[in-house]
């Protein structure tokens, strides 16, 4: 073997990673997994993109002052409202908020459009839910509660749409693809009911949307 060939072989052996460093540790394949910077990460790309939100949802509910009401008048119907809420499995504070905005606890209130009673039922709605005398507080509350329960099922517990539909009708909400109809009255109505509810319950009726991220952890280094 020539000197040039021997020199080439020696150089190759000297620069070989395996021979230069000697035997590798058994767990060397974990080196990248445990190096700094590869701990838990927050990934905004891990979740599928949601469908675009309807345009009316972003600013559909304006800022309003919490509706005022006569506390003494409200106290007269407190037990009755709680009773009807239990009967229909509704949040009593929701009924209180609706009554506050609709009639201000006036059992004989009548709107220019013909809505009547504590829950301000239109004649067709009253008949639809078995209310013969809208001026009767118990009948009015029960009729309104039945309507709210129907709307909850119809709109799959989306309370913003439920409240909007109570004001404008489920047909109007459906017409605008299950968004709050672009009526100023309806948008202000929804805002007032939500504000009234929050002031009573101490928490919002509609939860605030959380940032859309998912916590992703690396796989365990040693399976259990």
Positions marked catalytic: 102
Cα 203 to Cα 182: distance, rounded to the nearest angstrom:
26
Give a three-class secondary structure readout of 69-119.
CCHHHHHHCHHHHHHHHHHCCCCHHHHHHHHHHHCCCCCCCECCCCCECCC
Please check whether residue 131 is in contact with residue 143, taking contact to mean a CB–CB distance below 8 angstroms.
yes
In the three-class reduction of DSSP (H, G, I as helix; E, B as strand; rest coil), residue 178 is classed as coil
Which helix (H) or strand (E) segment is 13 a member of? Answer: helix 3-15
In the three-class reduction of DSSP (H, G, I as helix; E, B as strand; rest coil), residue 145 is classed as helix
């Amino acid at each position: 073997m020539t000197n040039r060939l021997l020199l080439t072989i020696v150089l190759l052996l000297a620069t070989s990673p395996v021979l230069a460093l000697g035997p590798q540790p058994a767990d060397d394949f974990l080196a990248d997994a445990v190096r700094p910077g590869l701990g838990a990460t927050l990934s905004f790309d891990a979740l599928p993109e949601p469908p675009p939100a309807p345009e009316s949802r972003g600013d559909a509910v304006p800022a309003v002052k919490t509706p005022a009401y006569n506390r003494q008048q409200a106290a007269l119907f407190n037990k009755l409202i709680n009773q009807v809420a239990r009967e229909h499995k509704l949040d009593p504070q929701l009924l209180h908020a609706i009554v506050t905005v609709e009639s201000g606890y006036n059992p004989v209130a009548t709107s220019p459009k013909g809505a009547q009673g504590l829950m301000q039922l239109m004649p067709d709605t009253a008949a639809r839910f078995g209310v013969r005398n809208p001026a009767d507080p118990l009948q009015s509350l029960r009729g309104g509660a039945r309507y709210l329960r129907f709307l909850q099922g119809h709109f799959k517990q989306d309370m913003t749409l439920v409240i909007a539909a109570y004001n404008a009708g489920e047909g109007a909400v459906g017409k605008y693809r299950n968004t709050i109809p672009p009526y100023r009255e309806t948008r202000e109505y929804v805002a007032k009911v939500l504000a009234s509810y929050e002031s009573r319950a101490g928490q919002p009726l509609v939860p605030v949307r959380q940032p859309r991220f998912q916590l992703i952890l690396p796989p365990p280094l040693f399976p259990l």
